[in-house]
Chain A
Amino acid sequence: MITTTAIESTAELTDQERLQAARLESVWREPRGWGWFKAVHHTTIGKRYAVTAFVFFGLAGLLAGGMRLQLAFPEAHILSNDLYNQFFTMHGSTMMFLFAVPMMFEALSVYLVPLMVGTRNIAFPRLNAYSYYLYLFGGLMFYVAFLCNTGADRGWFSYVPLAGPDYGPGKRPDFWAQLITFTEVSGLAVAVEIVVTVFKLRAPGMSLNRIPIFVWGQVVTAFMVIFSLPGVVLSSTMLLLDRTCNTQFFNPAVGGDVLLFQHLFWWFGHPEVYIIFIPGTAVISTIVTTFSRRHVFGYLVLVLSLVATGFMAFGLWVHHMFATGIPQIAESYFTAASMMIAIPTGAQIFCWIATLATGKVVLKTPMWWAIGFFFVFIMGGMTGIFVASVPVDLQVHDTYFVVAHFHYVLIGGAVFPLFGAIAYWFPKVTGRMMSEKLGQATFWLFFIGFNITFFPMHLVGLRGMPRRVYTYPANMGWTTLNQIESLGYVLLFIAVCLLLVNVSRSLRHGAPAGSNPWKAGTLEWATMSPPPHYNFLHLPTVNGREALWDAAPNQPVVVGLDEDVRSFLMTRSLDAEPDTRDEFPRPTIWPFLAAVATSIAFIASIFTPWGITLGAIPVAITMIGWFWPDRQPAEHRRTREIWQSE
């Protein structure tokens, strides 16, 4: 059945194919040594995103450990109140901006989407490299500031007036605002790349109704990024302008309004939650399909649910602002809209259950994480329905109940699927299997540790414990629950360490994975593990929703692309008919230099408005260098041009 795999396993290559592979390798090879800074292939950049995001996940997790230690005892002084403020702000900002989105959206989509749609690289590979460096530099800046006792300390959403010029002295909120600028530019760049990759670079035959659910999830996410991030672009820019250029957006004394910040922030902030968990649900759909050994039940319903969630996400933002005294009629609307979002999510869950119930379920580690996801995410969804209702929300607003709710939703919706995804795609990325035994041990430790840590937060929240307090008196009745939570953290810590041990051992001693260890149906499994830099020796064509399961025995392959340059095929957006050919740019240092110039401009603008105006000059110079064509390839292309007929 899986003919493609057989043809591409190295052992069975014909002489002619081996020659072709060598040719492709020499054209697509990534530069070594100092060439590290020139790399442009999506697998290289995708791996960097994943590793970097995981490092930030670890750092934010350690900060959480600091907070749990502090809260384990009433009236403790392990962390000062000031340091505690920095800890929870750094934890939240890191998890949201440096881990969740870069991991669930950028890392997963950059690595997997081009493979899954059957092309050789992501659209705009240099932009992709640029986006990674900006993300990296933004994160480094944020942590260097933290080490210099200038860590953001006004909460992950940095509300005014607390973060405004009057109440947020020093530079802490400015670093937060610029972290947003860095990460939003990188997120937006990747969003455009993914939309274009999915609409134009799909393998022939992969019409819209055959796109893998994972890819649908990432493209819906990309659209949400495009339309929601501008909200936080504006709010954080206004904040920075108010703080450094004396604008008055949020100063009520002269016609400004602090709620403008909240409206703009949550215009982004609510879709942000879905930007984090839609990729998660897309991972779950993939794992459930593969380990149920059948096509997913209700493909159309799943896709429409993803799209519907994407649209509805933009009509919910005010439910984060119920306690701000907005008109009641608006509250009612946003309550109704918030409850409605349960419908598409519910539809997805029923489709997964139907798939599992009618398939032959194989219980491997990725599947365990999917099962854990069901439990945790549905729990989070239930308390979501509680807090969507205004009276309940007013009661539990800014208590630990909300902290429990969003950790169930976000860890359930992102971290469980992510750990499932690591177990699932590790063999593809590294060519080696992970240990099943360690994997399942990790799962149970994490699952139990998670519930011990976060379930009591519901209770302590209902008992009135507010968020963001660095300590509490002994007679509040919160001590035991807090100690249980801190104990749970220890289990979570061990679980993550176990995962790291598993990864490092499997990297060296894991069993060879072969191209398709799970016998899955999507195209990334059609090539070697790890994939070569040209992705596919024979560019595939597609005959059904699960390209490998549905392939005809003599499924055609694409030929006729120039092999002496990085050429690729473009297909039509709807039916993926072959349309035009083009050439990807070669590795280059310019995106790195442009990212350095951009970073200097962003960081300098924390201290002076001239940072942006003067800083724009080196940015422009590096961008022109990036754009300016090389003579030889240009002449080479010109000799072979075929113009479209009008």
Chain B
Amino acid sequence: MAERVERPVLDVSHLPTVAFGTRSLTWWGVMGMMAIEGTVFVLMIASYFYLHSRNSEWPPHRNPPDLLWGTVNLIVFLVSVIPNEWYRRRARKGDLRAVRIGLVLLSLFGIGNVVIRYFELWHLNTDWSIDAYGSAVWTLMGLHVLHLVTDLVDTIVLTVLFFTSLVEGKRFQDAEENAAYWYFVVAFWVPIYLVIYWAPRWLHA
């Protein structure tokens, strides 16, 4: 039997319990989800171009999607980045008022994006069941809608939570990471917008 020895200790009681970015566990979880979902987006975009390579005409026998609503949504997405970054930074300081305002603003932006998205869907000029082109456009769009709606629901729940007495450091971490996830939704709209709206125009020429 080994003898008992006095052992030195590593005291960690002074370490912070509220930290942000790479120092927060949930931040890593969110990054993991982004890696997975980002790969899905990339593979779906690759599938779009694979199907294009199998077709002589793209889009087949019809007009590409109308530019207006998609472009409006792109602009709204890009503008939303400003309040998003503002409340993300304030969350790291524990600024309750700023985070409340930011979350309300972002909820409104999200609702705006969803409403515009509804009009976008009416102007895709194709149906998913006509041909593979239509299926690819709708699936790509559907994937982005899924992320947009999920993030919107998340944001609204978090907003409600921030107006209760349950606010603590962890919730500011949530707010910061919610903003990070919104960046993901915005960032992937740029290539998807280019693929859905511009690829048919450029590839046609």
Residues of A within 8 A of B (CB): 1-3, 5-7, 12, 123-124, 127, 188, 191-192, 195-196, 199-200, 204, 226-227, 229-231, 233-234, 237-238, 241-242, 245-249, 251, 254-257, 260, 263-264, 267, 541, 553-561, 569-570, 573, 578-583, 620, 624, 627-629, 631, 634-635, 637-638, 640-646
Contacts and interface: CB of A to CB of B under 8 A. Distances in A.
A273 B138 CA distance: 32
B132 A248 contact: yes
Interface of B: 1-20, 22-25, 28-29, 32-33, 35-37, 39-40, 43-44, 47, 50-51, 54-55, 60, 92-94, 128-136, 138-139, 153, 157, 161, 165-166, 168-171
Given A642-B14, A644-B20, A249 B43 contact: no
B12 A558 contact: yes
Given A204-B10, A263-B50, A255 B36 contact: no
A643 B50 CA distance: 50
8 contacts: A192-B29, A196-B25, A226-B35, A242-B135, A254-B130, A255-B54, A263-B50, A559-B12
A117 B117 CA distance: 46
Contact of B4 (A12, A192, A267, A555): A12
Contact of A245 (B4, B50, B129, B136): B129
Contacts of B4: 6-7, 12
A582 B54 CA distance: 52
A631 B166 contact: yes
A39 B18 CA distance: 26
Contact of A644 (B19, B54, B153): B19
A642 B11 contact: no
A520 to B, nearest CB: 16
Contacts of A204: 10
B32 A195 contact: yes
Contact of B2 (A1, A264, A541): A1
Nearest to A257: B54
A226 B39 contact: yes
A6 B3 CA distance: 8
A604 B202 CA distance: 40
B73 to A, nearest CB: 21
Contacts of B35: 226-227
B18 A247 contact: no
A301 B132 CA distance: 46
A199 B28 contact: yes
Contact of A646 (B9, B55, B92): B92
Given A2-B2, A3-B2, A191 B135 contact: no
Contacts of B51: 249, 255-257, 260
A124 B3 CA distance: 38
Given A226-B39, A255-B54, A637 B10 contact: no
Given A255-B133, A256-B135, A234 B10 contact: no
A558 B129 CA distance: 61
A555 B7 contact: yes
Contacts of A561: 12-13
Contacts of A192: 29, 32-33, 36
Scoring B12, B44, B168, B170 by chain A CB atoms within 10 A of each residue's CB, the highest score goes to B12
A1 B2 CA distance: 7
Contacts of A635: 168
B169 A643 contact: yes
Given A246-B129, A249-B132, A642-B15, A556 B9 contact: yes
Contacts of A242: 135
Nearest to A3: B2
B50 A257 contact: yes
A326 to B, nearest CB: 12
Q: Which 5 residue pairs spanning A and B have beta carbons closest together?
A: A560-B13, A192-B32, A247-B135, A254-B131, A6-B2
Contacts of B93: 646
Contacts of B2: 1-3, 5-6
A634 B11 contact: no
B47 A580 contact: no
Contacts of A264: 43, 47
A553 B4 CA distance: 10
A580 to B, nearest CB: 5
A230 B5 contact: no
Scoring B17, B23, B33 by chain A CB atoms within 10 A of each residue's CB, the highest score goes to B17
Contact of A267 (B36, B43, B55): B43
A237 B33 CA distance: 18
A234 B44 contact: yes
A635 B164 CA distance: 12
A35 B11 CA distance: 34
Given A192-B32, A200-B28, A641-B168, A249 B135 contact: yes
A2 B3 CA distance: 10
Contacts of A226: 32, 35-36, 39
A601 to B, nearest CB: 13
A238 B24 CA distance: 36
Nearest to A538: B7
A642 B136 contact: no
A124 B38 CA distance: 21
Given A7-B4, A196-B25, A642-B16, 20 more contacts: A7-B7, A195-B28, A196-B32, A200-B25, A226-B39, A234-B43, A238-B139, A248-B135, A254-B130, A255-B51, A560-B12, A570-B23, A570-B25, A578-B12, A578-B15, A579-B23, A634-B166, A637-B17, A642-B17, A642-B18
Nearest to A225: B36
Contacts of A251: 132
Nearest to B3: A6
Given A579-B23, A580-B19, A582-B25, A558 B170 contact: no
